[in-house]
Every structure is written in structure tokens, then in C-alpha cells.
Amino acid sequence: MNRSSGCLTKGFIFLLLISMLSCKKEPVTEHGFFMADSYFTVKVYEKCRENLLSELEAYLEKYAFEIDRHAPASLTGRLNETGSVQAPEWYTDLIARVLDIEKQAPGFNMLSGRLCDIWGFTDRNYRVPAKEELEKVVGRGNITLKENELRISDCIVDLGGCGKGFLLELAGKYLEERGVKTYLLNFGGNVMGRGERNFKIGIQDPDSAAGEYGKIITIRNKCVATSGDYERYFEMNGRRYCHIFDPATGYPAAFYRAVTVICDEPLMSDILSTSAFISGISAVKKNFPDIEMIGIKAKKRSE
């Protein structure tokens, strides 16, 4: 989620929809809109009620607001400001699910929002902090959940690494509850396709111009998410620093240029792409051996 979701944003993803494998002509309704500092598209490949997709946009907007750490009045903003918040069930459920996945996803940590601030990605005043400054931040932070109350200490909650996956999940449920079976969602590069059809998805080559694909994959009833270093970064003294940080060191991850995850659920794909980018595909595969992952390594590096 770019600026509004902090250091784990997925705004850098360039998963580009190419085409449908099926050539059969059928009704297609498309709606695009900006949300969470990204462009979202919804395509429905069947007849649907007029205004359904604009109603979906309005539905998602309130959730996008509440998970935005940079909106002071949001649930996440208030949690970070005061250290506690009384939250509705959907929010506490999201936090609990993310915490549960985190236990098996090395490197992913939604409490590491302070690193994004220190490195200047929040206000775009980029800098390389001193090691001593990072040491005061890494390894810190605690979150507790009791019924509908969330409490944090010594940390900043940042849901950027799971936000678009969560919004994809909400959108899919919204459409299916209203009878839509075949659709394709592209939320800032996080993709979900549902229905009895195939979709071809192009994965951006990090070393090429936008629209040049390093790999083309075919999905059916799958979700795709990519984490990479090529969209949100700065360069200083000849070195590139991306906005995805290893919470154990406080430094940007640098082994991969990009990691793509293909799996059944959007929240899982979103989190695991970040986890694998930071900790390595082999480390994540230990707990998720059946999930497909594609890594593009940085030059002059080996796993």
C-alpha cells in the first residue's frame, strides 16, 4: 500500500495482466479506481447488476481507511498513537490471522513500521541510519489481543504487507455473495482470479521497463503477489535501498530483486511474498512446501 501502508507496501508490484486464454466472447464489466495509493481494477466475466462494482469500491474504501497507519482517525492510526484501541471483530480477526501466519513466515513482522520511518520512506526524506539507531528498534515491540481490545508497546503497526491481500479477500467475498462467479481482481499488482477459466499473468522483469515480462504464468482460482525492490527505493553512494526491511537487522532485504507467490488465498500470498523476499524461498518453503514461489535473485548473489 505505498505511502499509506508504510514499509511493507505492495505498491511496487508489477504483476501485469496480459490476456485470457479463452477466446470465447462473453459480457465483461470492468471498473477501475484508486485506493491505498494504488490503482485497482475489477473485471467480471458475466452479466452483473448495474452499479455493483462502484458499490464494491465504496464498500472497500472504509476498510482501506481503517488499516491505513497514516490516517490518524483510523483504527490502525489510533492504535499506534495511543497504544490501545477497541476494535470491531473483523479488525481483531485480521490481526489474529496475520499473527498466526507470522509464526510460520520468517521475516514478516507487522510491528516493524518504525523502520519505514527511520529510513525516510514515510516522508520521503531518505537516509541511511546509523547501526546504533537501528539497534534501538530491532527486536522490539509487543502486541496483545484480548476480546475486542488491542494493545501494543514499543512498536508501530504497519499492515502494508497484508493490506491488499485483505482487500482482495473482502472483494471476492462481496462479489460471490452477490452471485458473481467469474472475475479477475488486480489490486495494485496483487491478483486474484476466480471462476472456471484461465488467466495469463505477466511478471515484471525488474531489470526492464514496465510492461516487459520476465515470466508469464497461467492461473485458475489462484492468487498472485510479488514483493520486489524496483518500485520503491532510493540510491545513495551507488547502492540501492528498498523499502522492505529485515526486522532482525533493520536493513533492507537485498538477496532478491523480486519474489512472486502463487497460492489459493490472497492474504497468504501477500504475506508470504514479503516473507520469502526477506528470508529466502527455501526458508519459507520449510513451512509451506506446496506453495509455488518464483524468485529473481539480485546480481552477484547466491542463496
Q: Give the domains, in start order, of the chain with CATH numbers.
A: 2-297 (3.10.520.10)
**pTM for this prediction:** 0.90
3 Cβ contact partners less than 8 Å away, ≥ 6 residues apart: 9, 37, 70, 122
Per-residue pLDDT at 7? 54
Per-residue pLDDT at 11? 36
| Helix-, strand-, coil-residue percentages of the chain, each rounded to 5 | 30, 30, 40
CB-side neighbour CA atoms (13 Å) of 281: 19
Tens digit of pLDDT for each residue in 13-69? 344 555 444 445 678 999 999 999 899 999 999 999 989 999 999 999 999 999 999
Per-residue pLDDT at 205? 80
**Dmax over Cα atoms in the chain, in whole Å?**
61
Taking each continuous run of H as one helix and of E as one strand, the counts in the chain are 9, 15
- Rounded-to-integer distance, Cα 267 and Cα 300, Å: 32
Q: How many residues does the chain have?
A: 303
Q: What is the pLDDT along the chain (303 residues), one digit of tens a residue?
A: 333 334 544 433 344 555 444 445 678 999 999 999 899 999 999 999 989 999 999 999 999 999 999 999 999 999 999 999 999 999 999 999 999 999 999 999 999 999 999 999 999 999 999 999 999 999 889 999 999 999 999 999 999 999 999 999 999 999 999 999 999 999 998 999 999 999 999 888 887 766 667 789 999 999 999 999 988 999 999 999 999 999 999 999 999 999 999 999 999 999 999 999 999 999 999 999 999 999 999 874 434
- Rounded-to-integer distance, Cα 259 and Cα 289, Å: 16
Per-residue pLDDT at 143? 97
Helix (H, G, I), strand (E, B) or coil at 21: coil
Per-residue pLDDT at 15? 45
